[in-house]
Every structure is written in C-alpha cells, then in structure tokens.
Structure 1
Amino acid sequence: MTRIAYLGPAGTFTEEAARRFALPGAEYVPVDSPAAALAAVRGGSADVAAVAIENSVDGAVTSTSDALVAPGAQIFAETELAIAFAVMTRRGFSLGDATTLATHPVAFQQVKGWMAERTPGVRFVPAPSNAAAAQMVAAGEADVAAAPLRAAELFGLEVHATGVADVDTARTRFVLVGPEGTPPAPTGDDRTSVVFQTPNEPGALVAILQEFAERGVNMTRIESRPTRREPNTYNFFVDLAGHVSGAGPGAGTGTGSVADALDAVRGRASWYRFLGSWPRASRLD
C-alpha cells in the first residue's frame, strides 16, 4: 500500500490531484500543510506527497517552494487541474446575510470579485485549505465558504453556486514528491527543476542564467524566495524544458543539454539542489 500525504481534510483540490496520480492501492493521508506533507515523506510516515506548486492566477505556491529546499525529497510527476469553486453555506442560510467568507488565501484571489459583487462587505477569513473552510462553515465559524463541490457533500452544506472563478482559465499544477532517487525516463516532453543561491557579487545571477541561454535550454519559470537565514539572501527556483539526462527534443538545441547547463550552474552557485526531472502534464480540458 502506498501512503500519499496531501493537504486535507478530505475534499480539497489537492486530494483530487492526489487521486489523479492513480497510485495502486493508495492510502490517502490528510495533513495540514504542504510542508507537513513533505515532512511526512522525509520522515517515512508517507511514501509520497501530492502538493500544489503553481497557480495560473496567484503564481507559485510559496509554502511548497520553501518546503522543497530541504534535502530528502524529489519531484517525480505532475498533474494539472482546472480550478473553479462552489459557494456554500449551512443549510437554510441566505447568501445575502453572509458577513464572513472562509477559503484558502490562494483561492480568495480567484473568487474575491465574484463574492464582492454578490456579498458586498463580506469579511475574508483565511482557512488552511478550501475543505477546511467548508468545515469551518459547518462548525459555525464562518458564514460562507468557497471550496470544491465535494466538500459540500462531505460536510452537509447547501450549495448556492458552482463553477465560480474570476478567471475562467484558472489552473493549478500539482506535483508528486517522493524520497530522492532516479528520475523517471525522459519522454521528450519533460520538466526539470532546481533551486540555487548565488554568490553575493555583481552579475552572479546573470552569469548563471547565461549558462542556460548559451546551450539553448528554455527556462520556463523563475521565482525567488528569501532564504530566511540571512538578510538579503534568496533561493532561486528555476524550471527548465527538458530532462536532466539530456535526451529528447526538449533537452536543448544549442551546444549542450540540460545536464551540461546544470553542471555549469552547480559550479557557479554558492548552493544548489536538484529538485527533479519528470514528464510534463498534458493540458487538461
């Protein structure tokens, strides 16, 4: 049996993503944060973890990025979900009487326009997950929740609207993380991710990024996060099109490959960690 940790409780989008990975005989283990999911993998209480890593509206899921910095975990797969919400209350409660809205902070960025139009003056109450927001409404701790439709079924709530999203193309990418190991074989449509720090000197980041450009390696995402160890120091997260093995058409079209570029980056960075190479998710309708 494969134990897969995910941001709970049951009824979150992360649970849906975890089930999409279709691991045989999976046992789904709810935890209270992406960091806790990765800690479960590192500590051995879960075999893998499903965590959100990027949202098309709100950008990187920073709690996941920060949790990936520590060694002992690696990305092996991804999936992508179209994101829309159900708006729910306790049974018999009028949406027009709502004064508090519970949802995850990332979700709030995707529904706040819809809610402002229909429930003006409603106060946002952050929840650790969207399903937890539904749980808060069921417990009387908030009036209305924006959450996956399944959460309404699980917590016995009344649904007032479905398909709610200020941006109807909103999507979230989720990754499957396990203990460090050999990456999946290249498919020709792969993603590689690393995180590094640069020396504190002029042009250090530019020099590292040039290593990708010189080899024709496409950098598809870059994010920076404070290291939280020293002031004015940052972790740079970079996604690349291609596989670390250097095989496949996405590996690079210049004088080298993803692997060659990463070797050069490792030599220039003051700190470096490989986060994984894995097949890119097909875009879901």
Structure 2
Amino acid sequence: LVSSQHLSYSAKDLYNSATLVNEDDVDDSFQELSDLSNLLLLEDSKKVPHLKRENLCKALLDVPNLSEDFHIFYATNFQPAKKIDQEGIVKCIWTSMAENLLSIVIDYINIKHKYPEEVILLIDGPKPIPEIVSTLEQLIQEKNIKDLSFCPEDSKPKCKNQIKLKQISIVKGDGKSAPTITNIIHDLEIGLVDKAIVPIENSIAGGVAETVDSLQKSENVFVVNEMVLPIDHCLLAVPGTNLKNNLDEITKVTAHHMTLCQCMDFIRKNLASAEIEPSSSNSIAAKRLKNKYAADQDVRHEAVIASRHCAEIYNLEIISESINDASINETRFWILSKDINSGIKTPKNKTTVLFQTKDEPGSLQMILRIFAINHVNLSRIESRPAKKNLGEY
C-alpha cells in the first residue's frame, strides 16, 4: 500500500495513492486517500485484513523521527514464491511493484516540487528485500528518467536527487510459522529465515522422525543450540458446550501425531469411541476448530489437544487439563542455522553427527569405539531408514 501522511491537500493538489495488495477481488487501481490513517482504517470490504492493518500501525511506531513529509510503501515479500520455481512470476511481480513505487515518487516530486528524503517500505515478511534497489535503478535506466536514483538505507545519498530506501519488516522478532517441520527447514535452507526451531525428542513419545529425516536431506544446516521446554497438554473445545462433564460425547479429537502419542492413556480411558485425526500442528487444529465455529458449523462434539496458550489465542474452552500420560513431559528443541558459528559456545557443548556405515558385521562397533577411546560420552543414538532398500539404515 502506498500513501502519504501529514500532507496538505487542496482541490487542485490531490495526491493519488495506489493499492497493491496480495488479496482477492482488489484492483490495483488508484484511489484518492487523504492520509495513511484512512488507508489503515479501510473496511474489510477492501480485503485488507484487520491483523495486517494492526501490523502496519505497529510498524509505524518503529520509524524514528518522521518528518512532516514522508511516504510509506507497503509490499508483500514475494520471496517464498521462488521455492516453487515461479521465477518468471516473481520477476513480473517485482517489476510491477517497483513501477508502482517509482510512479508514486515521480508524482510526489511533481506535486511537491522537491525530492523526498527517503521512502520507507513496510515488508510483510521476516527479511528485507535485497533486489528492490537494483530493480528500481534498472527501471529508471529503461525509462530514461533523469536526475533520480535510489540508495539502500545503510548508504549515504551522493546527491540531492538520490533517495534513501528504508525497509522495515512487519514480521520482526515474532518470526514466521510453517505448516510442517520439513517446511521450516526448507525455509532456512533457501534463506527465508536466519534460524529455525524444531523439536527433536520428547520424554514420553521419543524422537521426532520428521526432524531427523529432513536434516538428512538438507545441506549446510547446523544445530547451533538447544532448549528443553515443559509440555502441558489440554483438551479444548468451543465455548458453551457441556463436554467438561461429558467427555464420552466427544466424537472427534484432533492434534499433532506426537501430541496424540503423549496422551494415549487419557485418550484410551476417556475418548475410546472418538475419531482420532492427526493434524500438522496443534495450533492449526485449534485454529480450524475456531474457524468452523465462527462459520456456524456444528462442532459441539469436537475437541483438540493443545496448550493453554492456544486456548487463549483462539478463544477455546479448556475442558480437561494436564492430560499427558506422565506428569514430567518435556520436549527438546534444536535451534538450526546455516551459520555454524552462530551458536552459544559453552564448556558443555554437544555435537550431533549424521552418518551411514557399511552393511557388514562390526561396522557400527568400529565407529562407536572411536568415541570410547577418546572418552566422548554418547547421550543418544538413533537409526533412521536410508530410504534406499528395506533394512538399510
């Protein structure tokens, strides 16, 4: 979204703002908007989600010392599209977005008779867009535009005709989520995120196979730290049901398969007749239940297993607390990075090694003997299928 803020308007000096949003049923047409506040308060009929407007408002607070005249350009970070090999589409989107930004800046110069000191981009993604300055410079050259250029925010403008381009990520410290562990590690591999947090083992259900299998296929991804978190599962349902006292009326329970493994005793004793449905994550299961309820679907006999935090976020009722099979339920998480030196070095560092032995007697013993000779303690050993032939690990 492109708009102006704190600009004085008159009948002959109207400033046209463009909308460029990645939503359905919205034309990239020009609209007359008096200021950024009006733009952020557009009704949902404009297909600008409430949460996106909230994020934009919060991001504005991170812009220091805004002058009386400034411009903000909002753009979706289109980098994720590259992972599905849509390079041509991505390039087309970049060009379209850059052309919109360039036309807005030129309109501003013509109306205000001066150059803006900087253009601020609010990025709907966790990282800045490195290609945007070069894309703008290429367009300026192709269109043979004189006396106009851009420079990144860490550079000093060389002349009054050069405009500084500042980028502020809306998705700051909150990071981003992904539907599966495999997607998380893939996002790290292709540079969409700097670090990734994935579960590796649980004190009740054991190792997380998807994490090990995904790392087996990854290149240049390292474990740089770990954390152990207590896990306390709750049974959640939509508000207004009487399921708390009638668990046998629940016909369907949804949760991540590792969560189901951690709560099998509770499920066997209290939900024996319920359909068990695995989900890619507990939070997605909770969100879907909330959305079905909001769409007036009959979910009075459905439940999900998730945390208390999920109950608060999605306005679900806790109908049974601490349902995991053991009172001590902990999950070890790995922090992954492509930078092997980004971890915190301590005297008790761990090392994780992934290797394959020859299929012959004593091959594993020969490798383990090296650790014993060098007095290196092994805390965990796990075998995973090599995915070549049955029986190969």
Partner residue, 1:53: 200
Match of 1:145 among 304, 317, 325: 304
Contact 2:227 2:334 in 1 (8 A): yes
In terms of mean alpha carbon deviation, does 137-146 or 104-113 score higher? 137-146
Deviating beyond 3 angstroms after TM superposition, the runs of 4 or more aligned structure 1 residues are 1-4, 183-186
Describe the SS at the equivalent of 1:194: coil
Query: Hey, what's the Cα distance between the residues in 2 that align with 1:200 and 1:169?
Result: 39
The superposition leaves residues 160-179 of structure 1 with CA deviations (integer Å, 9 ceiling, x where unpaired) of 12222211111000011011
Partner Cα separation in structure 1 for residue 257 and residue 344 of structure 2: 36
Match for residue 135 of structure 1? Answer: 287
Corresponding residue number in structure 2 for 1:112:
264
> Alpha carbons of 1:74 and 1:3: their partners in 2 closer, same or farther (altered >3 Å)?
farther
> Root-mean-square deviation (CA), in Å?
2.1
Q: Which residue of 217, 230, 238 maps to 1:82?
A: 230
Asked whether the 8 Å contact 1:82–1:169 carries over to 2, the reply is yes
Q: Structure 1 residue 131: deviation in Å? A: 1.0
- 1:171 equivalent in structure 2: 330
In 2: Cα distance, 1:210 partner to 1:195 partner:
16
- How many angstroms does 1:94 deviate by? 3.0
Q: 1:111 to 1:38 in 2, by over 3 A?
A: same
Map of 1:103 onto structure 2 = 255
* Cα deviation, residue 112, structure 1: 2.2
Which AA in structure 2 matches 1:123?
Answer: E
C-alpha change, 1:41 and 1:35, in structure 2 (3 Å) is same
The equivalent residue for 2:181 is 34
With over 3 angstroms needed to count, the CA separation of the structure-2 counterparts of 1:184 and 1:196, relative to structure 1, is: same
For residue 287 of structure 2, give the secondary structure of its aligned residue in structure 1: helix
Opposite residue 275 of structure 2, the aligned amino acid is R
Name whichever of 175-184 and 40-49 sits farther off.
175-184
* Distance of 2:386 and 2:317 partners within structure 1: 43
User: Among the aligned pairs, what percent are the same residue?
Assistant: 27
Q: Matched residue of 2:228: which SS?
A: strand
Q: Partner residue of 1:65?
A: 212
| CA distance, structure 2, for counterparts of residue 192 and residue 76 of structure 1 | 9
Instruction: State whether structure 2 residue 191 is matched by structure 1 residue 44.
Output: yes
Between structures 1 and 2, the one with greater strand share: 1
Name the count of aligned residue pairs: 214
Instruction: Provide the C-alpha distance between the structure 1 equivalents of 2:333 and 2:344, rounded to a whole number of angstroms.
Output: 20
State how far apart, in whole Å, the 2-side matches of 1:73 and 1:131 are. Answer: 26
Q: CA 1:168–1:112 in structure 2 vs 1: closer, same or farther (change >3 Å)?
A: same
User: How many angstroms does 1:182 deviate by?
Assistant: 2.6
CA distance in 2: counterparts of 1:127 and 1:224, whole angstroms: 25
Give the drift of 1:50. Answer: 0.6
Question: Which residue, 233, 239, 243 being the options, matches 1:91?
Answer: 239
Q: Alpha-carbon deviations, 1:102-151, whole Å to 9, x = none?
A: 11111111222123333331221111111122123222577011101111
2:370 partner SS: helix
8 A Cα contact 2:239 2:316, kept in partner:
yes
**Higher helix fraction: Structure 1 or Structure 2?**
2
Q: Is the 8 A contact 2:263 2:323 kept in 1?
A: yes
8 Å CA contact retained: 1:3, 1:47: no
Structure-1 separation of matches of 2:373 and 2:126: 42
Query: 2:86 corresponds to which residue?
Result: none
Tell me, yes or no, if the aligned pair for 1:91 and 1:158 is still in contact at 8 Å.
yes
- Counterparts of 2:303 and 2:198 in 1: how far apart (Å)? 25
Residue type at the aligned position of 2:178: V
Which residue in the other structure is 1:156 paired with?
A: 315
Contact 1:91–1:157 (8 Å) recurs in 2: yes
Are 2:230 and 2:331, in contact at CA under 8 Å, matched by a contact in 1?
A: yes
TM-score by structure 2 length?
Answer: 0.51
Question: Computing the radius of gyration over CA atoms, which structure comes out larger, 1 or 2?
Answer: 2
